[in-house]
Amino acid sequence: MTSGGGPAEGRVIVALDVDTLALAESLVERLTGAVFAFKVGLELFTACGADAVRAVTRQGGRVMLDLKLHDIPETVARATARAADLGVAFMTLHTGGGRRMMEAAAQAARTAGGATRTLGVTVLTSMEDADLAEVGVPAGAAATVELRARLAIASGLDGVVASPREAAAIRALSPTNFLIVTPGVRPAGAAADDQRRVATPRAARDAGANYLVVGRPITHAADPRAAALAIAGELA
């Protein structure tokens, strides 16, 4: 069992990809105890702001605040400190912001008490080699993911967000307590939606993922709680 997760909570982080507090609160209510944490991303945060985070924590849920921060070190450090003030469990930033930005964020999280763990996005899974070359990153996705994961480790981040496909390579180069969080997870037989490089929950775990971000297979299910527990069961 992963640290902090109850018997049924396991490793699933459910993506609250909705646009109102009422929808977010209703999902949290249905899923409390069935998932490890709730991901508040750009849509919900833009629509509802920090109240979205408070809505989850008020109901006792952990939050992964997925804003993929990418700015100058001071700005990212200060935003990380504010996320820590809100009590989020995980905060994402973009490794493309460089070593000093990541070091500043990691330091800010530690200074705030260490309860907020910093996760670096290596390369967006929507980008292929040609897309990277077009923005001046000719090394390709696989090599860039490894290089940035090493830099995230050296900069003191607590983990990375990566596709299940990249998880094994990152696990091989990272310390044992380094966290790998993978989206793009689909139970066998579930619709892939717009995800391209999907893996089953078990495959993601076996590749070295500590936590799995799952959205629509849970939130669009007729019974979200049953869907979450089925995934947890597959991982148990």
> Which residues would be at the binding site for ligand C5P (CB under 6 A)?
15, 17, 41, 124-125, 161, 183-184, 193, 195, 213-216
Give Cα 133 to chain centroid, integer Å: 25
From 68, 117, 165, 205, the catalytic residue: 68
Which is nearer to ligand C5P, 114 or 220 (by Cβ)?
Answer: 220
Q: Which residue's C-beta sits nearest to ligand C5P? A: 215
3-state class of 42 per DSSP?
helix
Which is nearer to ligand C5P, 119 or 153 (by Cβ)?
Answer: 119
In angstroms, give the least distance from the CB of 74 to ligand C5P. 25
Which is nearer to ligand C5P, 19 or 112 (by Cβ)?
Answer: 19
In angstroms, give the least distance from the CB of 42 to ligand C5P. 8
68 flagged as catalytic:
yes
What number of other Cβ atoms are within 10 A of residue 134's Cβ?
11
Which is nearer to ligand C5P, 101 or 214 (by Cβ)?
Answer: 214
CA 132 to each of CA 52, 67, 143, 145, 164: distance values in angstroms, whole numbers, following the listed order = 33, 21, 11, 11, 19
Radius of gyration of the chain (CA): 17
In angstroms, give the least distance from the CB of 183 to ligand C5P. 3
Assess contact for 173 and 149: CB atoms under 8 A.
yes
Which parts of 194-235 are beta strand (E)? 211-214
Active site residues: 68
